[in-house]
Structure 1
Amino acid sequence: MQFTSEQRLEDGVLERKFTLDEIPGILWTPESASTSAPVPLILLGHPPLGLNRMYARLVARAQRAAADGFAAATIELPGSGERPRLAAVDQARADLRRAMEAGTPVGEEIIDALVLPLVDKAVPEWQATLDAVLSLPEVGGPVGYSGGVISIGVRLAAVEPRVVAAGLFAGSLVPRTMFEEARQVTVPLHVLLQWDDEGNDRQASLDLFDAFGSKEKTLHANMGGHTGVPQFAGEDAAGFFARHLK
């Protein structure tokens, strides 16, 4: 991991941009982080829209994490930003757009082609990011995962033992194969669902929540569309991580 820039934000949070095997990323650490007092870490998941486009939302989430005493890190997803495009995913995205514009059902083959290649490539990259960030003396774990794409969160929570809690955003289409993987997830979960999310299959989100194998799992559903998440929902998610990472 090579740091390429750093700045101190107004609230004292240290923001450092980095590259890891040519993958761009950002690490935020609170002022309290030190070699003598390493802090827990939250991985910030996000939709494949590019770090630059998502930055304002990501830094706000990172600053809230820092206020609670946590470091936060994120990376550019495969095929996003300045990373090489994934042709098959781009084609599936175009097929999805045509199906939605025509008002026809979105077939499982489109969902699989859109999501599974992204999950297969992104999860090992998140694990490599964990290796790199946890090697820093001021970051010590435990680790949480927060955000979407929800299928990435499902796979990572199922295969990565260092992730001890996950806050997932139910705002993306889910391949059927992910339901079996969800049964392997046993860490505490906090799932956020926007009830009227126009791009989400509500019933599939409810079925996925039911499939999770976790003994502690909470579904936080609110009225409104994809971008209408109320502020108090973020407060509840922050409380979830405060319980499980401290």
Structure 2
Amino acid sequence: MRLTSEHALDDGVLERDFLLGDIPGTLWTPPSTAPLILMAHNNGLPRSDARLVARARYTAAEHGYAVATIDAAGCGDRPRSAADERVRAELRRAVRAGEPADELLESVVGPLVVGAVPDWRTALDALLELPGITGPVGYSGWAALGIRLAAVEPRIAAACLYAGGYVPRAQHEDARHVTAPLLLLLQWDDEGNPRQRALDLFDAFGSTEKTLHANRGGHLATPRFELEDSCRFYDRHLR
């Protein structure tokens, strides 16, 4: 791991960008030793997205967790292939036209998850070697990735998943093998994600401790208090 920048923020958090081979990432750490939370945005949105950064800084500053994120292949600061661009352009066209997009989403999100999981496990290996970061490890954010990661990575001790992104069929099957404590956040009126899919996914999880929080509102209307509640969820399972 090679650090590329370091900034001491006003809230006492240290923000560091890093490169792990060709994987770019960002790490936020509080002043004291802390458990680690891996944080990802739905469908591979860039790690610099303002909403993710705000969640990460709050979690580190107000609740004392180390938080890390990376860019998935083909997302953020990582290059995209011409084939990736063509499929994404077709997906955007279908969504704008109101056409069925499930098969296109399968062709985009499915491979993205498959490619992202090894990168996140590599990052996890490196992050847990850093001073000031300890296990157990939590996961927050992108549901499709979190399901697959929790199914194959025993170091994930708790997962808070946002139900606002498309979850490929393979990850619905993976959900049956997820046994870590789970918190699923659902926006009841999400414009692009029918609530029944999220309810069916919740039923599929193999976790004996699983909680569903559903709030009225669209995709971007998750209440602020859910961030506080998710941190209390991590307090129960990571400390």
The bucket for the TM-score relative to the shorter chain is: over 0.9
The alignment of Structure 1 onto Structure 2 pairs a total of residues equal to 237
Report the AA paired with residue 20 of structure 1: L
> Are 2:12 and 1:50 equivalent residues in the alignment?
no
Alignment-derived partner of residue 220 in structure 2: 227
Task: Determine the C-alpha separation between the residues in 1 that align with 2:131 and 2:97.
Answer: 53
* One of 158, 161, 169 as aligned partner of 1:168: 161
Task: Determine the C-alpha separation between the residues in 2 that align with 1:163 and 1:142.
Answer: 7
Alignment-derived partner of residue 96 in structure 1: 91
Secondary structure in 1 aligned to 2:189? coil
* One of 176, 180, 189 as aligned partner of 1:183: 176
Task: Determine the C-alpha separation between the residues in 2 that align with 1:152 and 1:240.
Answer: 19
Report the AA paired with residue 161 of structure 1: P
Report the AA paired with residue 16 of structure 2: R
Alignment-derived partner of residue 122 in structure 1: 116
Alignment-derived partner of residue 22 in structure 2: 22
Moved over 6 A (4+): none
* One of 230, 234, 238 as aligned partner of 1:237: 230
Distance 1:243 1:86, change over 3 A: farther
Report the AA paired with residue 15 of structure 1: E
Task: Determine the C-alpha separation between the residues in 2 that align with 1:153 and 1:191.
Answer: 11
Secondary structure in 1 aligned to 2:100? coil
Deviation digits for residues 64-105 of structure 1 (CA, Å, limit 9, x no counterpart): 222222101011121112211044443333333333333332
- How far the C-alpha of 1:24 sits from its partner, in A, is 1.0
Q: CA RMSD for the aligned pairs?
A: 1.5
**Which blocks of at least 5 consecutive residues in structure 2 are unaligned?**
none
The answer (yes or no) to whether the contact 1:88–1:113 under 8 Å persists in 2 is no
The answer (yes or no) to whether the contact 1:89–1:117 under 8 Å persists in 2 is no
Task: Determine the C-alpha separation between the residues in 2 that align with 1:192 and 1:115.
Answer: 20
Alignment-derived partner of residue 11 in structure 2: 11
Task: Determine the C-alpha separation between the residues in 2 that align with 1:88 and 1:210.
Answer: 35
Report the AA paired with residue 56 of structure 2: A
The answer (yes or no) to whether the contact 1:29–1:72 under 8 Å persists in 2 is yes
Task: Determine the C-alpha separation between the residues in 2 that align with 1:186 and 1:80.
Answer: 29
Alignment-derived partner of residue 110 in structure 1: 104
The answer (yes or no) to whether the contact 1:198–1:225 under 8 Å persists in 2 is yes
Report the AA paired with residue 13 of structure 1: V
Secondary structure in 2 aligned to 1:112? helix
- How far the C-alpha of 1:133 sits from its partner, in A, is 0.4
Secondary structure in 1 aligned to 2:19? strand
Secondary structure in 2 aligned to 1:151? helix
Alignment-derived partner of residue 81 in structure 1: 76
Report the AA paired with residue 99 of structure 2: T
**Which blocks of at least 5 consecutive residues in structure 1 are unaligned?**
34-38
Report the AA paired with residue 229 of structure 1: T
Secondary structure in 2 aligned to 1:51? coil
Alignment-derived partner of residue 193 in structure 1: 186
Task: Determine the C-alpha separation between the residues in 2 that align with 1:244 and 1:134.
Answer: 18
- How far the C-alpha of 1:7 sits from its partner, in A, is 1.0
